[in-house]
Amino acid sequence: MKCGCGGKFEEKTQEIQGIKCSVMACGSCQEIIFTLEQSKAYHKLRQIQDELSKETKKISKIGNSMGITLPTKLKELGFDIGKSLDMRILDSRHIIIELFT
């Protein structure tokens, strides 16, 4: 696929409004376009993100541990009861929760 500048579009991962997604980026002018599939995937994540950011979560006490609940909307991404997760510290205020596939 060719760009208007004459450059070639190649698939790449890019962060758009805080969401990492697959896009087609021109190697010459950095113009970005979505294929239909990439657009659908981005909008699905965007919709879930918008729903997640509607309410502020609180950390609750579960036994001697701390717990948070995950919205059922995350089932659309494969998160579910009994699934294994990996947690990593990003910095003093951010953690990453990754679903094992």
Binding residues (CB under 5 A) for Zn ion: these are 3, 5, 7, 26, 28-29, 31
Give the full edge-to-edge strand order of the sheet including 19-26: 9-16, 19-26, 32-33
Q: What are phi and psi of 100, to 5 degrees?
A: -70, 140
Cβ distance to Zn ion smaller for residue 23 or 26 = 26
To the nearest whole angstrom, how small is the minimum distance from the Cβ of residue 24 to Zn ion?
11
Cβ distance to Zn ion smaller for residue 3 or 45 = 3
To the nearest whole angstrom, how small is the minimum distance from the Cβ of residue 10 to Zn ion?
11
* Secondary structure class of 73 (helix, strand, coil): helix
Q: Which two tokens stand for residue 10?
A: 């190649």
Give the amino acid at 50. D
To the nearest whole angstrom, how small is the minimum distance from the Cβ of residue 69 to Zn ion?
45
Give the amino acid at 8. K
Cβ distance to Zn ion smaller for residue 5 or 77 = 5
